[in-house]
Amino acid sequence: MNTKNILPDFFRYVEQQDTKIAKKVRDWLDYDLLGAIILYDGTFWFEVRSFSSMPNYCYEYIKRHLKKQGYRYLYDQQ
């Protein structure tokens, strides 16, 4: 299986953004609560640490960015 953790790439992207929402997402990511964003064959999903949950604003921001990159979220309806 050829999977890749693209969380480091996303983190570099969000560090370069200068918006309120990007800062909130960056602050949440700084707590190291998101284990990974896994990409496999154009499809991505999240691996969140077992002791946390991802806030909706992070979930939507990351999903929106990755969809703009041409990736599909695993749990979206086709």
Q: List, for residues 27-65, the tens digit of each pLDDT value.
A: 999 887 788 999 999 999 999 877 778 899 999 999 999
Looking at residue 33, its pLDDT comes to 79
- Is the pLDDT reported for residue 76 higher than 70? yes
Nearest alpha-carbon partner for 10 in 74, 67, 75: 67
C-alpha–C-alpha distance, residues 46 and 49, integer Å:
10
CB crowding 28-65: b at 16 or more within 10 Å, else e: bbeeeebebbbbeeeebebeeeeeeebeeebbebbbeb
pTM value surpassing 0.85: yes
